[in-house]
Amino acid sequence: MIPEKSEVKYPAAPIAATSPERLAVAARLRGLEPCPPERARVLELGCGGGGNLLPLAASWPACSCVGIDVDGSAIDEATQLARDLDLPNARFHQVDLRDARSVLGDERFDYVVAHGVYSWVSEPVRQSLLELCGAVLAEHGVLYLSHASYPGFHVQQVLRDMLRFHVAAPAGSLAAVQQARELIAALVAEPPAALVAPELLGRELLGLRDASDVRLTYDDLAETEGFWLEDVVKHAAEHGLAFLGDARSAAYADLLSARRFGRTLLCRAERRPAAPEPSRLLGLRVACPPFAPLPPEDATTWQLPGEGGAVVSVREPKLRAALVRLRAAWPQSLAVDELAGTVGNGAPNLSLLAALLQASEAGVVRLVLSGPACASGVSERPTASRYARACARLGRPIASQYHEQVPLPPPHRELLQLLDGERDQAQLRAELPARSGEEVSSMLQDLAHNALLIA
């Protein structure tokens, strides 16, 4: 279980895969009619300091966000920030999951997010979790449930066993992290022959070496129960829920994928979701950051790294041109219909739609419903959201308009705080005397690139 009192604080960061916009797209692709995120009711179980909910509340005034967590200080922090930013549509409650109904009453939610809960709580809490989700999920709602996932979790457990034995310091302490790093260093220094397979050495051991204190504390050193996806789905079925899809990939029950972390989407059992259908991309929008990979110009087949070492082969000659257009438009999105809507006779280019779907599953492009209100470039009075500015000021993790966490160095944070839309570029330069004009311009470009500037 995740330690309640920890010296390593869980960061209040956005979790891109849980964004209602992504969940809505996943549901749309499978033939459901999800609630538009901008006026949805969103519930997060285990919301911590509100880093995942507050950016939604800030972007969408008509969206109502409720977060619960047992950690009182995290809830206080979230509540305080909601008050400071004047976000009455974000409410936070300190309550045990098992008693959540006492604060939620009969409320229903269009999106329910339970990230890092299912595998990391005791069996009774796990039961309450799905019972609660079954009770509060709205008719067309989408539930996001993450869990440690077999078969990949077996491989992770090899190193978890070692850490569990070696680390004597109390869970959540910095000393525990220190002890873990000591063992990892000894293993990395001269990896035992049994660990040199890429799954163990490459993915797990070197992953541990580079892991943050947060990951070590809340993932590798925390008590964790692994589950097969099919068992999670069976468990959910007991509460009237059905498998909708994977938050990242459409592959279901791929026994060979060595994934160890499942991001499972569920809906009400009555909804009967279909397989993702490329034609359902029509009506959506798509975006592609310039830092995403681009297929080589002369290749007919593009090999994309999928999950768990799998390779996704995309055969679509028009995909490259589409991605080039998308990269140029970034951080704004383009309508899918505009990219692939018609080919001469007015029929949609289904093969390009299928390729875009694959590229989305491989994490190359982002499919969105309406797309965030990003500025197309750096305007005379560059503006960042009030929430992003507050996070920059408070040292909290920053969320992009795509609900992705953007790691920003201190000078960028300093600049971001000033982007209230009142100051023009000359004023910005004047307020940052330590930076040259060129530096400020380049930093503004970075912020635009990271989808932090709004129109």
Residue ranges binding other proteins (CB under 8 A) = 150-151, 154-155, 157-162, 165, 182-183, 185-187, 189-190, 192-195, 197-200, 202-203, 228, 230, 253, 255-256, 258, 305, 308-311
- Minimum CB distance to other proteins, residue 191 (Å): 9
- The residue to which tokens 């969408």 are assigned: 60
Contact, 164 vs 134, CB < 8 A?
A: no
- Minimum CB distance to other proteins, residue 247 (Å): 21
Of all helices (H) and strands (E), which one includes residue 419? none
Residue 193, helix vs strand vs coil: helix
* Cα angle for residues 139, 145, 149 (degrees, 5° grid): 140
* Cα angle for residues 365, 14, 371 (degrees, 5° grid): 40
Q: Is the preceding omega at residue 289 within 30 degrees of 0, hence cis?
A: no
Of 27 and 251, the one with the shorter C-beta distance to other proteins is 251
- Minimum CB distance to other proteins, residue 254 (Å): 9
- Minimum CB distance to other proteins, residue 157 (Å): 5
Of 14 and 152, the one with the shorter C-beta distance to other proteins is 152
- Minimum CB distance to other proteins, residue 197 (Å): 3
CA 149 to chain CA centroid, nearest Å? 17
Dihedral sign, Cα of residue 135, residue 137, residue 142, residue 147: negative
Of 115 and 259, the one with the shorter C-beta distance to other proteins is 259
> How many other CB atoms are found less than 10 A from the CB of residue 5?
10
Of 222 and 369, the one with the shorter C-beta distance to other proteins is 222
E-state strands within 73-172: 90-94, 109-114, 137-149
Measured CA to CA in angstroms, residue 431 lies from 390, 415, 442 at distances of 18, 9, 16
Of 117 and 163, the one with the shorter C-beta distance to other proteins is 163
Query: In terms of C-beta density within 10 A (0-12 exposed, 13-18 middle, 19 or more buried), how is residue 312 classed?
Result: middle
Residues 6+ apart with CB under 8 A from 25: 284, 367, 368, 369
Of 311 and 434, the one with the shorter C-beta distance to other proteins is 311
Side chain identity at 391, as an amino acid letter? C
274: left (phi over 0), alpha (psi -120 to 50) or beta: beta
Of 169 and 394, the one with the shorter C-beta distance to other proteins is 169
- Minimum CB distance to other proteins, residue 119 (Å): 16
- Minimum CB distance to other proteins, residue 309 (Å): 4
- Minimum CB distance to other proteins, residue 11 (Å): 28
Query: Distance between CA atoms of 81 and 102, rounded to whole angstroms?
Result: 24
Of 149 and 383, the one with the shorter C-beta distance to other proteins is 149
Tokens of 314: 């995309």
